Amino acid sequence: MPFRLRDPSDYQVSVLKVVGTNDVGRLGEIEALWKRKLMSRDIGLNRN
What pLDDT was estimated at residue 1?
67
What pLDDT was estimated at residue 29?
95
Considering only CA atoms, which of 7, 8, 27, 6 is closest in space to residue 17?
A: 27
Q: In a 3-state reduction of DSSP, which class is residue 3? A: helix
pLDDT tens, the chain, 48 aa long: 676 788 888 778 888 889 999 999 999 999 999 989 988 888 777 777
